[in-house]
Structure formats: C-alpha cells, structure tokens
Structure 1
Amino acid sequence: MIKTVATTPYGDQKPGTSGLRKKVPVFQQENYAQNFIQSIFDSLEDFQGKTLVIGGDGRYFNREVIQIAIKMAAANGFGRVLVGRGGILSTPAASNVIRKYQAFGGIVLSASHNPGGPTEDFGIKYNIGNGGPAPEKITEAIFARTKVIDSYKIAEAADVNLDIEGTHEIAGMQVTIIDPVSDYAALMEELFDFNAIRALLQNGFRIVFDAMSAVTGPYAKEILENRLGAPKGSVLNFMPLPDFGGHHPDPNLVHAKALYDQMMGDDAPDFGAASDGDGDRNLIIGRGIFVTPSDSLAMLAANAHLAPGYSKGLAGIARSMPTSGAADRVAEKLGIGIYETPTGWKFFGNLLDAGLATICGEESAGTGSNHVREKDGLWAVLLWLNILAVRQESVVEIARQHWMIYGRNYYSRHDYEEVDSAAANGLVTALRDKLASLPGTKIGDLTVQTADDFSYHDPVDHSVSSNQGIRILFEGGSRVVYRLSGTGTSGATLRVYIERFEPDAARHDIETQEALADLIQAAEEIADIRQRTGRQTPSVIT
C-alpha cells in the first residue's frame, strides 16, 4: 500500500559539491531524509518503471536510509531498484552499476572522507544516468523543492533483507540485492593487465593498502589479494565499519600517518596506498616518497598508454582549478586538450561524455577516467601498479624521471577547518574587494601578476559557474588559491593552495614547505588569515 505523509520543509537542505551532508542527528529528525529523497524524485521526470541504483559506504545510518529510499522509490513509481549487498556500494562502483545496467540514476549514501558514527556525518547524493553526480541545474531544483515540500510518498512494507542476494517485490517494484564487488572487479580486469601485475607481485614486489575500515575494503581484498595474488594481509582494515573504527577515513598524511611512517621506514614495502570512506579518493606512497595527488594525476596521464584500457592514448586531461599545473605540461607534450574546471567531479561529466577528456583529477586525492563518472581510488592504485609492472622501476625512479622531463610543481594545501562561517566569508569578501588592486604588488621577492575570482565556461553546454576560487598568480608561474570548501558539516573550511613551478632538476630535492616558504608567507599577508580566523596555523597540511 502506498501512503502519502504530510510534512513540513527544512530550510537547510542545500546540496554542496557532492550532495547533502549533515550530522547524523540532523538526518534523524522527523522526515528529514524523507523530505530530501522526495525532493529528488519531485525534481526528476520520466522515471516511471525505470531502474534506480541505491547503495552507500556502510557508515552509521546507511541501512536505515536505504530501507526508506527503497520504499519511497516504489511509492514514486520506479520499476526496479538495485541495491548492493549489505547496503554497500562504493561511489565508483555505484557509478559503474548505473552505467552497466542503464539505470535511470542512483542514490548514493555517503559523506565521502568525513568521519562516521552516531554523532558524525552522513550524506545523500543523486547521480544521473551517465553515472555521475547530478549537475547544478538538478541540485538547484532539488533545493528549491525542499523549501516548499508538503508531503512524501512511501510504500508500507517490511524491510528488505539487505544481506542476501536475491529479488523481492515491494508495491509492484522489483528489488534486487546484488554483489557489490563483482561488476566493478570485472571492469578493472578489462582496463588493466592483471597478468603483468600478478607477475610483479609474485616477483617479491610488496604492497600495502589501507582501506581505513571503509567501503573499499571488500573491493581491494577481492582484487588485490584474491585476483592478483598479493599476500594475505596486504589489505589492512578491510572490514567496512559504521564508524570507520573511530578513525577519520581521509587518505592524507595526517589521517593515514601509520601508512606514511611504514613507507618511510627501513623495511618499507615497495608501494603503499589508501582509499577513503566511499572509495573515490586515493593516497599513493612509494618507498621513501609521497606522490602528491596533483603529481599522481600528471604521472598517470603520462604513462596511461601502458595499460590496455588506455593503449590508444588519451583524448584530453581535465583537472580542477586548485590542482597543480603538472598535468598541463603532460597534455602539451602529448598534444591533447587540457581543461581547468571548478572543484567538484560533476564538472568533469560533460567533458567525459563529449569525449574531450579521458583522465581527470583533483588535488584532493581524486583521480579517475572515462570508465565511470566518479573519481575512483582503487582504479588509481591499479593503474599505478600496471605502470610499475610494465616499467619495472620504483615509484621514486618514475617520479624523478617525470620531473626531469616536465619540471616539478612544488605543491601544498593548507586547510583551516571549522572556521567561524562569518569570519571565513568575511575573509573571502575582503579578498574579492582587493583583487583589482593586487596586480603589481610586491610581497618580499614576489610580484603579483594577476588576481581574479575563477569562472568556468563549460565548453559542452556553455553554462557558466562563477566565484569558484580566488587566484593570485605571481610572476614566474607561482600561485596561491583561496577557496571555501563545500564538503564539511561544521563551520567553514578555508583551503589555501600554494604552488611553485621549478624547472631546474638541481632544485627538485627541497622539502616542500621550505620550497614554498615565501609563498606561504605571502598567502598569509594577502588574506590576513591569522587576524581574520584567529588561527595561527592550519589544521591540516597536505
């Protein structure tokens, strides 16, 4: 039986760069999740009888919202729902399932790399039929609907057993519980030379992968250990836990410090990697070397032809604006397009669909390709392993040769987390007000060449996205970028991106923060960060 339930709007359901993210107690308010899910359905057209994919990263409240979403999908007229067993689907795996089974779209329950638990973060994101995050016109329509919603539809039915594969029926809609790993693993076997990687691992090449008690665990266990033959125990923390074991599932040098320390030790494995809460981010560390996400994007693009899935070359490379320019020089050498977009994977979707780009990346540890429409942490790990297997060189050797050819982009991101929102917005407003007066300004030995607030003109649909980050470009090619992040749930996160291009190979061994010291000081002076935020140092430096 279909029931229509009266409800009242909440005023805080505006999706960010990757859906709606709030603390669990916020989502547990009466009808809060139902309002947002109904607003998604109300913003879509022509889905009656079609397929919806539902899955999540296993965090706290995942199973409860999946049951709600299933019953609401039935009440709203979907014909079939595909759900990952146990409620599990990594974000890239969900994208693949949407594409493979030609689903109308999907609901992905995740707050990505944010902490999980009864008082931590939860999120709901809608992905469209190409497998990618909903574009702004849809998320804006969803938000508009949340502000006036007065009822939602839900089927009165028993909960579905999410832990056993099989098919059920709810209010005339078919619900199929699927293996969350098999379709994704099959896709990876198509893209990469598993025989070459298997031979590398059998030859004594040692790897360690930290799944951070998050969703990638079952995928990494199946692919790295079961199919590629890595020794048992190579995949750490492989069981997805609702609170990620009490850890912060963000694969950076702060939250994956144990892995970093192991890789810098005397008896380090050859290759270390980690992924995040929902499986779309990656951390790459070779023995004795951390590869920044910006460098990883450039190095993967330069070597992608070594993997079967990319042997015909790349159509183009896309990167988010704050990501370093390292990939630009690879694109120039390859004679292919380079596209600079705002932060947010949804901006890559049009470029991928139009065949303009093959590989995309963001400095925030996200890389991916046209195989799905999300960033993909395990994909990046497997492409690195494929390259290492073919080149028979270490990560350090590959990185040094890359810098020798292309130059090195010293790069760092300084995050000021949970800053008072009014203070953060005031800082950005003051920066915008002084942009016109900055060119020509000298700060130490640095001279500002140009300053602007980045706007993106989409070459495919010609849409314009303004106010996407403040850029200060210095003579000689260095730059500082300021941006407020849309992925947190408390206060505001100010991100400051600092970059220096160094073409001289004799200067490629300087410690990163030392190489960027004058730019870090300039970033502070220009934005008056300490005075405006009250913070003496960043919360996280990556």
Structure 2
Amino acid sequence: MIKTVSTTPYQDQKPGTSGLRKKVPVFAQENYAENFIQSIFDSLEGFEGKTLVIGGDGRYYNREVIQKALKMAAASGFGKVMVGRGGILSTPAASHVIRKYGAFGGIVLSASHNPGGPTEDFGIKYNIGNGGPAPEKITDAIFARTKVIDTYKILDEADVDLDTVGLYALGDMIVEVIDPVKDYADLMESLFDFGAIRSLIGSGFRVVIDSMSAVTGPYAVEILEKRLGAPAGSVRNEVPLPDFGHHHPDPNLVHAKELYDDVMSPQGPDFGAASDGDGDRNMVVGKGMFVTPSDSLAIIAANATCAPGYADGIAGIARSMPTSGAADRVAEKLGIGMYETPTGWKFFGNLLDAGKATVCGEESFGTGSNHVREKDGLWAVLFWLNIIAAKKKSVKEIVEAHWAEYGRNYYSRHDYEEVDTDAANGLVAALREKLNSLPGQSFGALKVEAADDFAYNDPVDGSVSKNQGIRVLFEGGSRVVFRLSGTGTSGATLRLYVERYEPDSSRHDIETQAALADLIAVADEIADIKKRTGRDAPTVIT
C-alpha cells in the first residue's frame, strides 16, 4: 500500500559539488532523508516503469536510507531498482551499472572521503542516465523542491533482504540485488592487460592496496588477489565497516601515512595504493616516489596507449582548474584538446559524452576516463600497474623520465578545515575586491601577470559557471589559487593551491614545500590567511 506522508520542508538541503552531505544526526531527523529523496523524484520526468540503481559505500546509516529509497522508488512508479548486495556499490561501480544496463539514473549514498559513524558524515547524490553526477540544472531543481515540499510517498511494506542476490517484489516494482563487484571487475579486465600485470606480480613485484576499511575492499580482493594473483593479504583493511574502522578514509599522505611509510621502507612493497570511502579516489606511491594526483593524470595520459582499452590513443584531456598544468603539456605534445573545468566531476560529463575528452583528473586524488562518468580509484591504480608492466620501469623511474621530458610542476594543496564560515567568506570577498589591482604588482621576485575569479563556459552546452576559484598567476608560469570547498559538512574548508613550473631537470629534486616557499608566503600576504582564519598552519598539506 502506498502512503502519502505530510512533511515540513528543511531549508538546508542544497546539494554541493557531490550531492547533499550532512552529519548522520541531521539525516536522522524526521523525514529529512525522505524529503530529499522525494525532491529528487519530483525533479525528474519520464522515469515511470524505468530502472533505478541504488548503492553506497557501506557507511553508517547506509542500509536504513536504502530501505527508505527502495520503498519511495516503488511508490513513485519506478519499474525496477538494482541494488548492490549489502547495499554496497562503489561510486564508479554504480556509474558502470547505470551505463551497462541502461538505467534511468541512480542514487549513490556516500560522503566520499569523509569519516563515517553515528555522529559522522552521510550523503545522498543523484546520478543521471549517463552514469555521472546530476548537472547543476537538476541539483538546482532538487534544492528548489526541498524548500517547499509538503508530502512524500512511500510503500508500506517490509524491508527487502539486501544480503542475498536475487529478485524481490516490492509492490509493483522489482528489486534486483546484484553482485556489486563482478560487472566492475569485468570492465577493468576489458581495459587493461591483466596478463602483463599478472606476470609483473608473478615476477616478485610486490603490490599492496589499503582499502581503508571502506568500499573498495571487495573489489580490490577480487581484482588484485583473485584475478591478478597477488598473495592473500595484499589488500589491507579489506572489509567495509560502517565507521571505516575509525579511519579517516581519505587516501592522502596524512591518512594513509602507514602505507606510505611501509612502501618507503627498505623491506616494504614495490608499489602501494589507497582508496577512499566510496572508491573514486586514489593514492599511488612507489619505492622512493609519491605520485601527486596532478602528475598521475599527466603520466597516465602520456602513456595511455600502454593499456589495451586506450591503444588507439586519447581524444583529449580534462582537468579541474586547481589541478596543476602538467597535463596541459602532454596535451600540447600529443596535439589533442585540453579542457580546464571547475572542480566537480559533473563538469567532465559533457566533454566525455561529446568525445572531446578521454582522460580526466582532479588534484583531489581523483582520476578517471570515459569508461564511466565518475572518477575511479582502482582504475587509476590498475593503469599504473599496466604502465609499469609495459615499460618495465619503477614508479620513480617513470615519474622522473616524465619530468625530464615535460618539466616538473611543483605542486601542493594546503587545506584549512572547519574555518569559521563568516571568516572564510570574508577572506574570499576581500580577495575579489583586490583582483583588479593585483596585476603588475611585485612580491619579491614574483610579479603578478593576471588575477581573476575563474568562470567556465561549457564548450558542449554553452552553460556558464562563475565564481569557481580565485587565481593569481605570476610571470613564468607559477600561480596560487584560493577556493572554498563544497565537500565538508561543518564550517568552511579553505583550499590554497600552489604551483611552480620548473623546466630545468637539474632542479627537479628540490623538496616540494621548499620549492614553493616563496609562493606560499605571498599567498598569505595577498589573502591574509593567518589573520583572517586565526590559523598558524594548514590542517592538511598534500
């Protein structure tokens, strides 16, 4: 039986770059999740009888919201829902399932790299039929609906058994509980030379993946240990836990330090990788070399033809504006398109669908391609293993050879987390007022060439996205970028991105923070970061 439930709207349900993210106690408020899910359905047209995909990263409150979403989908007229066993689907796997089975769209329950647990983070994101995050016109419509919603519809039925693969009836709708791993693992095997990687591992090359007690554990075990022959235990923290085992599931040098230290030790593995909460981010580290996400994108693009799925070359590269310009130099040499977009994977969707770009990346440890419409952590890891197997060189040798050919983009991101929101907004507002006066100013040896608030004109649909980050560009190719992040759940996160291009290979072995020290000091001088935030140092440096 379908029930129509009266409700009161919440005014704080504006989706960010990756859906709606709040603390679990916020989502647990009466009708909070139901309001947002119904607002998604109310903002869509033509889905009656169609298929919806639902899955999540297994974090706390995942199962409860999946049951709500299933019953609301049935009440709203969907014909079928495909859901991962146990409520599990990594974000890239969900994108692939949507695409492979021609689903109308999907609901992904995740807060990505944010912590999980009873008082930690939760999120709901809607993905469209191409498998990618909903564009702004849809998220704007969803937000508008949340502010006025007064009823939602839900089926009054028992919960579905999420732990057994099979078909279930839920009112007039079919629920198919699927193996969350197989389709994705098959896709990876079609893209990469598993035989060559298997031989590499069989030769004694040691690979370790830390899944951080998050969603990629089952995927990594199936692919790395079962299909590629790595020894049992090569995948660490492989069981997804609702609180991620008290880990912060963000694959960076702070939260994956144990893995980094292990790879860097004399007896450690040759290659290490880590994934985040929902499986769309990655960290790659080799003996003696941490690979920055910006360099990873450039090196994957430069060596794409090593992988069978990209043997014919790539059409173009897309990167978010804060990501370093390393990939730009690859695109220039290959004679292919280079697209600079705002932060947020949804901006890559049009470029991928139009065939303008094949490989995409963001500095926030996300890389992917046209195989899905999300960034994909394990895909990037497998691409690196494929390149290593093809070139028969170490990670360090591959990176240093790339720098020698293209130059090195020294690059770092400084995060100031949970800054007072008013203080963060004040900092950005003051920066905007300075933009016109900065060009021509000198700060020591650094002279400002240009300064702007980045705006993006989509070359496919003509849409315009303004105020996407403040850029200060210096003569010689260096720059600093200031941006407020949309992925946190409390306060504001100020991100400072610092970049220096160094073409001289004799200067490619300087420690990164030392190479960027003058730019970091100038960034503070221009934006009054310490004074306005009250912070003496960033929360995280990557």
Give the TM-score normalised by the residue count of structure 1: 1.00
In 2: Cα distance, 1:490 partner to 1:461 partner: 33
Q: Which residue of 1 aligns with 2:347?
A: 347
Answering whether residue 400 of structure 2 is matched by residue 392 of structure 1, we say: no
In structure 1, the partner of 2:109 is: 109
In the TM superposition, 1:174-253 aligns within 5 A as 174-253=174-253
Q: 2:474 aligns to what?
A: 474
AA in 1 matched with 2:183: D
Distance in structure 1 (CA, Å) of the matches to 2:214 and 2:444: 45
Give 1:383 deviation, angstroms.
0.5
Instruction: Provide, for residues 454-505 of structure 1, a one-character-per-residue CA deviation record: whole Å limited to 9, x for no partner.
Output: 0000000000000000000001100000000000001000000000000000
Aligned counterparts of 1:124 and 1:439: Cα–Cα separation in 2:
42
The one-letter code sitting in structure 1 at the alignment partner of 2:338 is I
Question: Given the alignment of the two structures, is residue 501 of structure 1 paired with residue 504 of structure 2, yes or no?
Answer: no
Deviation per CA, 1:319-338: give whole Å up to 9, x if none.
00000000000000101000
Give the 3-state SS of the residue equivalent to 1:15 in structure 2: coil
Which residue is 1:168 aligned to?
A: 168
Q: What is the alpha-carbon distance in structure 2 between the residues aligned to residue 176 and residue 477 of structure 1?
A: 53
Q: Which runs of 5+ in 1 are unaligned?
A: none
Task: Work out the CA distance in 1 between the residues paired with 2:283 and 2:25.
Answer: 30
Give the superposition deviation at 1:267: 1.4
| 1:414-448 Cα deviation digits (max 9, x unpaired) | 00000000000000000000000000111111111
In the TM superposition, 1:306-345 aligns within 5 A as 306-345=306-345
Shift of 1:121: 0.0
1:295 corresponds in structure 2 to 295
Paired residue secondary structure (2:388): helix
How many angstroms apart in 2 are the aligned matches of 1:207 and 1:166?
35
Which deviations, in whole Å up to 9, do the C-alpha atoms of 1:41-64 show, x marking residues without a partner? 000000000000000000000000
CA deviation map 1:124-152 (0-9, x unaligned): 00000000000000000000000000000
Q: Find the counterpart in structure 1 of residue 484 from structure 2.
A: 484
Q: Do residues 263 (structure 1) and 275 (structure 2) align?
A: no
Structure 2 CA distance for aligned equivalents of residues 10 and 436 of structure 1: 39
- Whichever residue aligns with residue 360 of structure 2, its letter is C
User: Match of 2:338, SS?
Assistant: strand
Tell whether 2:91 aligns with 1:91: yes
CA RMSD of aligned residues (A): 0.4
Match of 2:439 in 1: 439
- SS of the residue corresponding to residue 495 of structure 1 reads strand
SS state at 2:302 partner: helix
Shift of 1:241: 0.2
Matched AA of 1:301: A
Q: Distance in 2 between matches of 1:496 and 1:462?
A: 29
Letter of the 1:122 partner, please give it.
Answer: F
Counterpart for residue 45 of structure 1: 45
**Residue of structure 2 in register with 1:77 after alignment:** 77
In the TM superposition, residue 249 of structure 1 has moved relative to its aligned partner by 0.1
2:68 corresponding residue in structure 1: 68
Equivalent residue of 2:258, what SS? helix
Q: Does 1:377 align with 2:377?
A: yes
> What is the deviation of 1:264?
1.3
Residues of 2 paired with 1:450 and 1:288: CA distance? 36
Letter in 2 for 1:204: G
Q: Look up the equivalent residue of 2:200 and give its one-letter code.
A: L
Q: Which amino acid aligns with 1:34?
A: E
SS at match of 1:255: coil
Match of 2:513 in 1: 513
* Structure 2 Cα separation of the partners of residues 531 and 347 of structure 1: 34
How many residue pairs get aligned? The number is 542
Q: In the alignment, which residue of structure 2 is the partner of 1:401?
A: 401
> Per-residue deviation at 1:288?
1.1
Q: Distance in 2 between matches of 1:487 and 1:117?
A: 17
1:171 CA drift (Å): 1.2
Pairwise CA distance, 1:269: 1.1
Q: Distance in 2 between matches of 1:476 and 1:188?
A: 40
In 2, the alpha carbon distance for the partners of 1:79 and 1:256 equals: 42
SS at match of 2:303: helix
Q: Deviations over 1:515-537 (max 9, x none)?
A: 00000000100000010000000
State the identity %.
Answer: 79
Amino acid aligned to 1:527: A
Amino acid at match of 1:201: I
Query: 1:61 is aligned with what amino acid?
Result: Y
Letter in 2 for 1:78: F
Q: Distance in 2 between matches of 1:100 and 1:353?
A: 15
- Equivalents in 1 of 2:500, 2:119: separation in Å? 40
**Letter of the structure 1 residue corresponding to residue 101 of structure 2:** Y
Give the secondary structure class of the aligned counterpart of 2:461.
coil
2:393 counterpart letter in structure 1: E
Give 1:284's aligned amino acid. Answer: V
4+ residue segments displaced more than 6 Å: none
In the alignment, the residues of structure 2 paired with residue 377 and residue 501 of structure 1 have an alpha-carbon distance, to the nearest angstrom, of 27
- SS of equivalent residue, structure 2 residue 111: coil
Q: Distance in 1 between matches of 2:187 and 2:170?
A: 31
Instruction: State the alpha-carbon separation in 1 of the partners of residues 412 and 265 from structure 2.
Output: 23
The alignment partner of 1:167 has SS state of: strand
Q: Distance in 1 between matches of 2:507 and 2:272?
A: 26
2:525 is the alignment partner of 1:525? yes
Partner of 2:157: 157
| 1:107 alignment partner, SS class | strand
Q: Residue type of the partner of 1:406?
A: Y
> Which AA in structure 1 matches 2:345?
W
TM-superposed CA distance for 1:268, in Å, is: 2.2
Q: Secondary structure at the match of 1:66?
A: helix
Q: Does 1:541 align with 2:541?
A: yes
Is the partner of 2:265 in helix, strand or coil? coil
Deviation at 1:11, TM superposition (A): 0.4
Distance 1:257 1:199 in 2: 29
What is the letter of the counterpart of residue 253 of structure 1?
Answer: L
Q: Deviations over 1:183-202 (max 9, x none)?
A: 00000010001000000000
Is it true that 1:463 corresponds to 2:463 in the alignment?
yes
For residues 140 and 227 of structure 1, what CA distance do their matches in structure 2 show? Answer: 43
Letter in 2 for 1:273: A
* Alignment match, 2:139: 139
